[in-house]
Structure 1
Amino acid sequence: MKPALELTSVPPWAVAPSKPDADLSGTSWTVVAVGADADEIVETWCAQIISVRPDADLRIHRVDDAEAGVGAVSADLAGARVGWRLMIAGPAVECLRVRAHAVRLDVADDEMTVASTGVAVRRVQCVHCGVHTCAPAALEDTVGCSGCGRNLYVHYHVSRREGAHLGFMVDAERPAEATA
């Protein structure tokens, strides 16, 4: 039986693509667009913000991956003041990593807006060896750990600080001889 998603730590945008409206409550914005598929969302957000704040302090970063997005967030957050907002658009696997970095820097959930352009790939952290494995997978699928080789069950849990789904050995409850 699948749990109700709202009772898990998995954000809805990590399961189905989403295009929320811009957060218009801020006074300045950092917008991170990961990949070309995020461009349309970012253009919509910018138009929404400019329509209510023509003089908005709006910093747009178009990046290829989460690492570059993390760098942009760090740079902009260093000079942020009250009212700063972070808006991230791109594949959920990349958005989770940028969001995790922001969480580690104490950015609150209500200061972030995330739009996902794709949810097919997941980053799964193995509870046995700690390695992160990226692979096409849905919740409840199994992926092979790139560290220890165990078959990991993709669980209904996302670490906010790691930006990864929890993965544990799918047949851990079976005796070793039954899995051989």
Structure 2
Amino acid sequence: MTRCACALIQTNSINLVLVATGKSLGLQDEETNMERGYWIRSKPLYDSLVWRQFATGHVVVAQGDGGLAVLKLFQQMCPREPIKLLFADDKSASKKYADIIQTLVPEGLQICESEQAALAALKEQLPDCLMGTQFYVAGSEEFIWAVLEVLKEYGVQDNNVAKELCGTLARSVYCVHCKTISKDVHFSIHECDGCRRHLFVRDHFSRRLGAYMGVMVDAEEPGNIPAKEEIYP
């Protein structure tokens, strides 16, 4: 039997047995896995918008700082297929993208005064979309999942929607205790808008709710609330 050279290393009060093959034989704390290479499958992934090939049409829905993603998209090329662009203007955006987009997009553009107006316009457009239409969404995470909720009502599959997160990392947080969804959360600890419990904002995400899970941070030790950190600016 071949013996493996082993070394016992003390790291953060956790004993790890390292084998010559590089594999760990013992791991006493699951949290160590979360530091490196840990991935929560429910957490959504976003990418830069790129025109999809073999489409019968394109529908682009964007909001606020998502205007930059739209500009980058149209600088790639202007597809031959029909295009519909719904843009929700946002006064809090870093730049007045609506004015620039109007000079760049030749046709099919509709500027909406609010996010709700853009969602309403999308609902009007969807019945006329053909099979093979590709969808593109850019903006805040809250806006992206509001658009996806509308698309889901019309049977659009997630793999037919390209998504780019823009402007802010703010999260919507679902309180597992009172079922309230708090919007625009920037800190690791958030006081629930409903029950006022202090919630730890987790990375576990519900696509149905469009929100991350929030659990009571001092459930085991009432009153022991860690300092909050701004990690979703």
Q: TM-score, normalised by structure 1?
A: 0.79
Pick aligned residue for 1:179 from 223, 228, 232: 223
Please tell me whether residue 12 in structure 1 is matched to residue 45 in structure 2.
yes
2:215 counterpart SS class:
strand
Q: Which runs of 4+ in 1 moved over 3 A?
A: 3-7, 46-49
Please tell me whether residue 32 in structure 1 is matched to residue 33 in structure 2.
no
Structure 2 unaligned residues grouped into runs of 5+: 1-30, 90-113, 225-233
Identity between Structure 1 and Structure 2 (%) = 26
For 1:153, the equivalent position in structure 2 comes to: 200
Q: TM-score, normalised by structure 2?
A: 0.63
Contact 1:22 1:45 in 2 (8 A): yes
CA 1:42/1:105 → structure 2, altered by over 3 Å: closer, same or farther?
Answer: same
For 2:163, the equivalent position in structure 1 comes to: 114
Q: 2: distance between equivalents of 1:6 and 1:105? A: 31
Number of aligned residue pairs: 167
CA 1:105/1:127 → structure 2, altered by over 3 Å: closer, same or farther?
Answer: farther
Please tell me whether residue 127 in structure 1 is matched to residue 172 in structure 2.
no
What is the CA distance between 1:63 and its match in structure 2? Answer: 0.7
Q: 2: distance between equivalents of 1:5 and 1:137? A: 22
Please tell me whether residue 97 in structure 1 is matched to residue 146 in structure 2.
yes
Contact 1:103 1:161 in 2 (8 A): no
Alignment of 1:15-94 (within 5 A): 18-35=47-64, 37-48=65-76, 50=78, 53-54=79-80, 56-64=81-89, 65-94=114-143
1:118 counterpart SS class:
coil
Structure with a larger share of its residues in helix: 1
For 2:102, the equivalent position in structure 1 comes to: none
Q: 2: distance between equivalents of 1:156 and 1:47? A: 34
1:179 counterpart SS class:
coil
Q: 2: distance between equivalents of 1:111 and 1:49? A: 19
